């Protein structure tokens, strides 16, 4: 509130001045909030003169005029502050209930200072979210091998049994029968004459009875027809459902027979089936959609070995962002990236983890006990910067036996050291895709065949 206090003489002239002043302030929004009257006092010289004449005459001395103390007040006038929507940042009127730009409820209004602070907070939240997402990606890649050890990768053959997709038939719709006629709906309302004259009354009642009987006969015929249609529809529905059940049963039996036949082929160690099984298991186990899924599998039944040609991800799959911060002075997000040295080292370890993980998935899912050993050849598909042509060199190769590999404590190993322990060969410079000679599996159990193992 804003207040103004003014004093007026308590005289006719002072009262007129008060009224005029009050009108002026009223035009500016002021109103009287309080009034106080101050009484005048007796004049001193006149009191003395009257006292010399007669002591009681002191009370006949003149007095000074009193005053009226008036206080005016009005609501404080504050300059309007521009408000902004906290959702999209658009300017909105003070009394608006929704934002004209984004349409959200504008209860969340903000002043310019609040808006600036809110924008800073939102940018910091965005930076934190991007940092967490970047760290999460790195952590998932780093734990690729460890996180895979608690999963059972054996294929569930029941997944091959597809559900019958044909919808169960529905009963044909039959128009429902209206309710049966009731005499109360036909009973005539007799006039005074019909109530008094028996002949008129009987004639009117007879006509109503005939109308009721006709309606009843019509309804009974309609009911017979409706019952007949319902019977036909019910029979059609039961017949359709019976046929649908037969088709569904036949389809499901065929699906189960197909699944059992494929499973029997797998358990009998059929080469083509084992290749398809391994391909399905590895593809279903891949946790990252950005990883290449170009794999080839060649099962050698004579040696119970599997040759795996696996396309590995290029270094571009390694995250580059280490942390994101919001710089208030520059009003921009600042991205801190991993060094090339760190990314190269992380990539090398990831390649070894992928090779170990793939062999683990294949051995662990080997329900047919068809795999005694695996040859894993890892390749990277990329563009050769020297020629501009696409190349797919083998950058690592390893062969291991199931009994030896499954005894490893993969949760605690150093992937690269373990790879070397298995006598694997790898490129000295994986980033530049220096190729190595891949290992090939023996295709016959004979001694001469084992001696001929070399470059594939």
Reading the block at residue 101, the tokens are 């730009």
Residue ranges of the chain with pLDDT lower than 70? Answer: 40-64, 76-90, 92, 94-98, 100-115, 440-456
Are 211 and 259 part of one and the same domain?
yes
The per-residue pLDDT for 31 is 85
Residue 211, helix vs strand vs coil? helix
- For residues 413 and 366, membership in a common domain is answered with yes
What token pair was written down for 104? Answer: 């959200």
pLDDT tens digits, one per residue of 15-42: 888 888 888 888 877 888 888 787 766 5
Task: At 358, list the tokens.
Answer: 């793939």
DSSP 8-state code for residue 88: T
Whether residues 260 and 276 fall in one domain: no
**Alpha-carbon distances, residue 230 vs 240, 305, 361, 417, 443 (angstroms):** 15, 67, 60, 79, 71
DSSP letter at 346 equals: H
> Is the alpha carbon torsion for 350, 352, 355, 358 positive or negative?
negative
Residue 448's pLDDT is what?
A: 33
Is residue 221 included in any domain, yes or no?
A: yes
Q: Which domain holds residue 352?
A: 269-451
Determine the Cα–Cα distance for residues 407 and 405; give it in Å rounded to an integer. 5
Q: Where are the alpha helices (H) located in 69-197, listed in sequence order? A: 112-142, 144-147, 192-196
- Number of helices and strands (H, E) in the chain? 11, 15
CB 427 within 8 A of CB 434: yes
Q: What total number of domains does the chain contain?
A: 3
Domain-embedded: residue 149 = no
Per-residue pLDDT at 432: 83
* Confidence at residue 422, expressed as pLDDT on a 0 to 100 scale: 93
d(CA 291, CA 284): 12
Q: How far apart are CA 131 and CA 435, in angstroms?
A: 36
> Which of these three, 59, 74, 89, is where a domain ends?
74
* Whether residue 286 sits in one domain with residue 420: yes
Residue 444 counted as domain residue = yes
State the distance between the two ends of the chain, measured CA to CA, in whole angstroms. Answer: 95
- Same-domain pairing of 203 and 305: no
Provide DSSP, 98-130.
B-TTT--BTTSEE-HHHHHHHHHHHHHHHHHHH
| Domain stop point among 240, 265, 290 | 265
Interior CA angle at 248 toward 247 and 249, to 5°? 90
Element housing 341 (H / E) = helix 340-364
User: Domain check: are 300 and 437 in the same one?
Assistant: yes
Do 286 and 293 form a contact (C-beta atoms < 8 A)?
Answer: yes
In a shared domain, residues 228 and 313? no
Residues 412 and 427 in one domain: yes
Tell me if 85 is assigned to some domain.
no
Cα gap 364→402, rounded to integer Å: 9
Q: How does pLDDT run across 217-258, given as a tens digit for each residue?
A: 999 999 999 999 999 999 999 999 999 999 999 999 999 999
168 within a domain of the structure (yes/no): yes
Residue 86, domain member (yes or no): no
Residues in the chain, total: 456
Q: Say if residue 287 is in the same domain as residue 426.
A: yes
Q: Tell the burial category of 58 from Cβ atoms under 10 Å away from its Cβ (0-12, 13-18, 19+).
A: middle
Are 252 and 288 in the same domain? no
Q: What is the pLDDT of residue 447?
A: 36
Residue 374 lies in a domain: yes
**Partners of 5 in beta bridges:** 71
Among residues 16, 48, 74, the one where a domain terminates is 74
Q: Do 244 and 350 fall within a single domain?
A: no
Are 188 and 277 found together in one domain? no
Residue 316 lies in a domain: yes
């Amino acid at each position: 509130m804003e207040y103004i206090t003014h004093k007026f003489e308590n005289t006719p002239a002072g009262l007129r001045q008060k009224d005029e002043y009050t009108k002026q302030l009223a035009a500016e929004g002021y109103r009287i909030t309080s009034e106080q009257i101050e009484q005048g006092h007796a004049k001193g010289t006149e009191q003395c003169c009257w006292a010399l004449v007669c002591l009681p005459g002191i009370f006949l001395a003149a007095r000074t005029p009193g005053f009226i103390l008036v206080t005016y007040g009005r609501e404080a006038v504050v300059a309007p502050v521009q408000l902004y929507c906290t959702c999209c940042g658009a300017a909105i009127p003070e009394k608006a209930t929704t934002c004209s730009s984004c349409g959200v409820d504008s209860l969340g209004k903000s002043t310019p200072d609040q808006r600036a602070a809110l924008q800073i907070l939102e940018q910091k939240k965005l930076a934190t979210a991007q940092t967490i997402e970047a760290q999460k990606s790195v952590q998932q890649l780093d734990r690729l091998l460890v996180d895979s050890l608690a999963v059972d990768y054996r294929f569930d053959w029941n997944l091959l049994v597809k559900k019958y997709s044909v919808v169960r038939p529905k009963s044909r719709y039959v128009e429902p029968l209206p309710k049966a006629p009731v005499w109360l709906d036909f009973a005539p309302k007799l006039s005074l004459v019909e109530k008094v004259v028996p002949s008129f009354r009987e004639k009117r009642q007879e006509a109503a009875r005939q109308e009721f009987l006709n309606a009843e006969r019509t309804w009974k015929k309609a009911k017979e027809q409706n019952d007949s249609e319902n019977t036909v529809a019910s029979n059609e529905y039961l017949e359709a459902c019976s046929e649908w059940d037969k088709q569904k049963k036949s389809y499901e039996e065929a699906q189960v027979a197909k699944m059992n036949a494929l499973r029997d082929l797998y358990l009998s160690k059929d080469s083509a089936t084992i290749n398809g099984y391994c391909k399905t298991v590895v593809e279903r186990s891949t946790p990252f959609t950005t990883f290449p899924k170009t794999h080839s599998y060649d099962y050698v039944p004579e040696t119970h070995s599997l040759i795996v040609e696996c396309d590995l991800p290029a270094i571009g799959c390694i995250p580059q962002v280490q942390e994101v911060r919001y710089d208030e002075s520059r009003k921009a997000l600042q991205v801190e990236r991993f060094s090339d040295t760190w990314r190269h080292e992380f990539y090398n370890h990831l390649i070894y983890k992928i090779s170990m993980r793939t062999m683990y998935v294949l051995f662990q899912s080997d329900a047919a006990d068809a795999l005694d050993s695996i040859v894993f050849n890892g390749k990277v598909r990329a563009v050769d910067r020297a020629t501009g042509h696409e190349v797919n060199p083998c950058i690592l190769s390893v062969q291991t036996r199931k009994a030896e590999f499954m005894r490893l404590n993969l949760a605690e190993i150093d992937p690269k050291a373990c790879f070397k322990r298995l006598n694997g060969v790898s490129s000295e410079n994986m980033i530049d895709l220096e190729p190595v000679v891949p290992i090939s599996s023996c295709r016959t159990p004979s001694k001469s065949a084992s001696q001929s193992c070399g470059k594939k």
